[in-house]
Structures are given as structure tokens and as C-alpha cells.
Amino acid sequence: MLYVYIIIISIIIGLLRNGKLSSLSQISLKRIELIVLACLIQGGIIFLGSRNIKFVLDYSSYMIIFSYIVLLLAVWYNKKLKGIKIIALGIIFNFIVIVANGGHMPVLLSSLY
């Protein structure tokens, strides 16, 4: 649900800054397959982990760290894009927290409900 709020707020901020949604189609991402791969890995961890697939449960920490490395590589290839530095900073901060916590994002159990 948090993603929905982030998308809505981002659109509102963009419109307030006289941006156009159609401008998004003009962004030329390099190595988009790396972004897709990182999303597939993270989505696969959630989907297969919720079905108690042993391999995923055993190696999810390594897989999530690997997905962040792939994502950072994609950011590197797109380093000339406007705004990519702030995106990179957010990814790096998340990556540091996840690595420091053994491959898991620390979340209060009570926050999940």
C-alpha cells in the first residue's frame, strides 16, 4: 500500500512543478533488463517465500542482497539521468540497512498488521 501512496504523491509533486505525465515516455533507460531482473527477484522472494518454498526461505537474504546489487548496477548505467542521484541514494540507504541486518529489512511485527 505504501507504493500506491508514493506513486500518488510523486504524481502530485510532478504536476505541481508543471511536469507532464507524458514526459515519462521520453525517459531513455539503459539496461532496463537489470531493473526488471531485480524486481523479478524481489517479487519471486515474496511470492515463493509465502508458499514456503525451502530454497527461497533458505537463501532469501542472499537473493535480496543480489537484487540490490543488480539494481545499483542499473542505476550506474543510468547515472546521467536527471534525478538518478536521489534514487541511487535511497537504494544505497536501503541496501546498507538490509546488509547490516543480515539480508532483511528491519520491520516491527506490529507494523505488518
pLDDT in tens, 34-61: 999 999 999 999 999 999 999 999 999 9
CB 64, CB 98: distance < 8 Å = yes
- Residue extents of the structural domains in the chain: 32-112
User: In percent, how much of the chain has pLDDT > 90?
Assistant: 60
In whole angstroms, what separates CA 80 from the centre of its chain? 19
| pLDDT single digits (tens) 2-19 | 778 888 998 899 889 988
Cell 526488471 belongs to residue: 36
Enumerate residues 6+ apart whose C-beta is below 8 A from 90: none
DSSP annotation of 23 reads G
pTM: 0.78
